[in-house]
Amino acid sequence: MPNSYPDQSVAVLFSGGDSPGMNAFLRAIVRLGLNREKIVVLGIRDGYRGLVRTARAVNGDAEALVRLKSTIASHPGRAGLINEQLDIIRMDHASVSGIMGKGGTILGSARCLEFHTPEVREKVIRLLKNLNVRALIVVGGDGSLTGAKLLAEESDLQIIGVPATIDNDLQFTDMALGVDTAVKTLVWAVDHFIDTARSHRRVMVLETMGRESGDLARMAGLASGAEMIITPEGGPITDEAMKGLAAKIEGAMTRGRGHAIVLVAEGVQFDPPQKRNRAYVLMDAFQEYFQRSGAPFPDLEVRPSVLGHLQRGGHTTPQDCILAARFADRAWTTILTEKSKNGITALRKNVIEIVPYGAPDMPERAAFSKEMEKLHEELSSW
């Protein structure tokens, strides 16, 4: 009965910064639900914010709840997606058609500060129960999964997390959804900047995202052949350290190198602290060093770029689409066979596991970061 309200369902929401692979995950979770498990998926608009809005609108009123269920039932799929007043959509086959490789998320994503309040979460839990939701899947990064952990602790709903963030800063999984695509985009960007760097014999300083983690910059550096990668894990960078980096570039120029691409992760801090973007701070420091009296390359120019949200968009890579399907598959298996199990899907040694919320960092992740740094250094020609 497509137009009746489902007796049971699984809800899915996307939270925090959007990440490539979110749409591929939505498609997989909806299609596996309908084709294999015969269970309806309710898509939540704008992450936790959509749930909070709806909980507030219903506000424990039985009649409002009946009206909401009727609106959800009468606006399945695309009809629900285009109805901006509706935050809970009964997904169908057609609503996820053609979205697999599209960046962003058709359901929308948001950061929701209100969700930090226990009373707000309590209202949301009540709403989900009243809507016959048996499990909620939360797709997002660190903050979003912390919200999922709280819901799991405070309710008897099954809460499954799915790691999706271009930052790759979640240390319990080898890879989060979206990282592969973001690295591909960064490699593409570096390729473009190299053209100008070579033509003008310049140093290009490109700032990547990644929050406090340098892994995105490391992966992009290794994959693109960027000459230098500056990451936050080593602590704040002093003026002396910046001179050292500039000296390294100058040394390479002395040996005949014509240009350099420097990747700096946004998590990098300076000592003394700086307010400006890292790429600009480094540009000034490098430029000052190159122009010091008696320097060999006073005309060597430095140009900064903050790559920003370019890194989050674009066509999702096959690798991310595959990971999305595998995460969705594991989420369904857990929901159906381990009903009381809460946890997060994680990729570990090419197996998708469910790990508990708050799982310790995998030592392999730190080893991976070190391995990338070492390889980058060893592959360098300067």
Which 3 state secondary structure label does DSSP give 244? helix
Using a 10 angstrom Cβ sphere, with 0-12 exposed, 13-18 middle and 19 or more buried, the burial of residue 286 is buried
Q: Which is nearer to ligand F6P, 131 or 279 (CB)?
A: 279
The pairing of beta strand 351-355 with beta strand 343-348: antiparallel
When asked if residue 211 is in the footprint of ligand F6P (CB under 6 A), the reply is yes
Q: What residue number has its CB nearest to ligand F6P?
A: 209
Tell me, residue by residue from 156 to 185, as one string, x for binding to ligand F6P by CB under 6 A and - for no binding: ---------xxx------------------
Cβ 276 to ligand F6P shortest distance, Å: 16
Q: Which is nearer to ligand F6P, 266 or 320 (CB)?
A: 266
Cβ 180 to ligand F6P shortest distance, Å: 15
Q: Which stretch binds ligand F6P (CB under 6 A): 88-96, 204-212, 248-256, 288-296?
A: 204-212
The binder of ligand F6P chosen from 21, 101, 161, 210 (CB under 6 A): 210
Cβ 18 to ligand F6P shortest distance, Å: 8
Report how far residue 183's alpha carbon sits from residue 311's, in angstroms, rounded to the nearest whole number. Answer: 8
The catalytic position among 167, 174, 215, 320 is: 167
Which residues between 234 and 293 bind ligand F6P (CB under 6 A)? 266
When asked if residue 105 is in the footprint of ligand F6P (CB under 6 A), the reply is no
167 is catalytic: yes
Cβ 308 to ligand F6P shortest distance, Å: 8
Instruction: Give one DSSP letter per residue of 255-317, joined into a string.
Output: TT---EEEEEETT--EES---S-HHHHHHHHHHHHHTSTT-S-TT-EEEEEE-GGGGG-SPPP
Report how far residue 185's alpha carbon sits from residue 310's, in angstroms, rounded to the nearest whole number. Answer: 8
The binder of ligand F6P chosen from 124, 209, 217, 246 (CB under 6 A): 209
When asked if residue 17 is in the footprint of ligand F6P (CB under 6 A), the reply is yes
Q: Which is nearer to ligand F6P, 9 or 171 (CB)?
A: 171
Instruction: Give one DSSP letter per residue of 170-207, joined into a string.
Output: -TTSS--BTHHHHHHHHHHHHHHHHHHHHHHTEEEEEE
Length of the chain: 382
Instruction: Give one DSSP letter per residue of 317-343, joined into a string.
Output: PHHHHHHHHHHHHHHHHHHHH-TT--E
When asked if residue 141 is in the footprint of ligand F6P (CB under 6 A), the reply is yes
Which residues between 37 and 76 bind ligand F6P (CB under 6 A)? none
Instruction: Give one DSSP letter per residue of 56-72, joined into a string.
Output: HHHTT-HHHHHHHHHHH
Using a 10 angstrom Cβ sphere, with 0-12 exposed, 13-18 middle and 19 or more buried, the burial of residue 108 is buried
User: Could you list the residues that contact ligand F6P (CB under 6 A)?
Assistant: 17, 141, 165-167, 209-211, 266, 312
The residues annotated with a catalytic role in the active site are: 167
